[in-house]
Amino acid sequence: MRYVLNRLLLLPMLCWAAQVGAQSAEGDGTLQEGATDPVALAALTIATREAPPFAFKDADGQWSGIAIELWNQIAEQNGFDFHYTELGLTEMLDATATGSVDAAVAALTITSDREQDLDFSHPFHTSGLAVAVPHRSSNLLAVIARLMSPGFLVVVAALLALLVAVGVLIWLAERRKNDQFCRAPLSGIGSGLWWSAVTMTTVGYGDKAPMTPLGRLIGMVWMFSGLIAISTFTAAITTALTVNELDTSIKSVNDLRSKRVLALSGSTSDSFLAEQGVRHRTVGDLPAALTQMAEGKADAVVHDAPILRYAIAEAFAQQLQVLPLVLRRQDYGIALPPDSELRESANVALLEIIRSNDWLRLLDRYLGTEH
């Protein structure tokens, strides 16, 4: 009888202990056996947009590119289930800021303004804003124009004056004791000019040579000086005959003020030009901007350097080119909603990926040796 009474008294205590244990397990945030992480439970929505070579659709409609392959590897390492959704640049940033999507993956520049509304991963690629311009063609008229340019004519005149000066000096030193340099000024200076020219070019026919000590001293000094003179003249000729295909009139952002400049609406290039006070027009996408410039409706397009190079190589190789000018450094990252639970795990995987040789090979495949 006492055994039965003990069991009856112990039963309420066991029920109370079980209830407290269940509440404790529910409140401490730990996952019980068989439970699932909320991040991995639902499929993630990843926003992206066309920005070759970082994000673009292939022939089968599947997303490819540097940023896409990076996210695919991050998701694989973390076991994320996800799907891509295509949005415009502004819509993509807004959706990420409000948490409507779980991340934005494309060529997204990390800026202070965007950082106020978004969280970003560690940078995975560093580039800069560049300028694309029309391709200058090489032709005979262009070569002739450069040969007749004031700069080249000044170099020719300076060289001729130097040759005449050396010719006069050698004639003055040799005219009385060397029959090779006639005493008559006109023919004598002519002989001196001939000697100075063949000496400078290291041809040295030997038909005329100084015989006096002063003349030989002048000749020795001129031999060494002529090497410098001919190098300078050769460089000037090379510059004139090799038509520079780059638009050298644009050497800094200030040179854009007198040009018809295009930028993508809402892009970092749009913001940069506005900050610099450069008047420009905006278009919806890069192919439209490049097409307008190829048709002569614009003088320059400002955009991300690797994206410009890729787009021009694909469709405008013979018409447009990118100048070797970086207007502002850019760091690309993955955009995340504020306080996103994905940030830590995504960053860990990202840092492991970009330090690998496979990442370098990926960049080589899409960007060549210019990354």
Per-residue pLDDT of the chain (371 residues; tens, 9 = 90+): 443 334 334 344 434 444 434 443 333 333 334 334 444 457 999 999 999 999 999 888 899 999 999 999 999 999 999 999 999 999 999 999 999 999 999 999 999 999 999 999 999 999 999 999 998 755 566 667 667 777 778 888 888 899 999 989 998 988 888 888 888 888 888 888 899 888 888 777 777 888 899 988 998 899 888 888 888 777 777 766 554 444 457 889 999 999 999 999 999 999 999 999 999 999 999 999 999 999 999 999 999 999 999 999 999 988 999 999 999 999 999 999 999 999 999 999 999 999 999 999 999 999 986 55
Residue-wise burial string across 356-365, b where 16 or more C-beta atoms lie within 10 A, e elsewhere: eeebeebbee
CA distance 217 to 125: 62
pLDDT at residue 362, as a whole number: 95
Please give the helix or strand (H or E) that residue 128 lies within, else none: strand 125-134
Residue 167's CB: how many other CB atoms inside 10 A?
Answer: 22
Backbone phi and psi for residue 277, each to the nearest 5 degrees, phi listed first: 70, 25
pLDDT at residue 227, as a whole number: 84
Domain 140-243 in this protein, CATH class: mainly alpha
DSSP letter at 29 equals -
Please enumerate in sequence order all residues whose Cβ is within 8 A of that of 40, keeping only pairs 6 or more positions apart, or say none. 79, 80, 81
Q: Are 155 and 233 in contact (CB under 8 A)?
A: yes
pLDDT at residue 20, as a whole number: 37
The angle formed by the CA atoms of residues 33, 36 and 37, to the nearest 5 degrees, is: 120
pTM of the model: 0.61
Torsion of CA 116, 119, 124, 129, to 10 degrees: -20
Please give the helix or strand (H or E) that residue 192 lies within, else none: helix 185-200
Q: Are 303 and 271 in contact (CB under 8 A)?
A: no
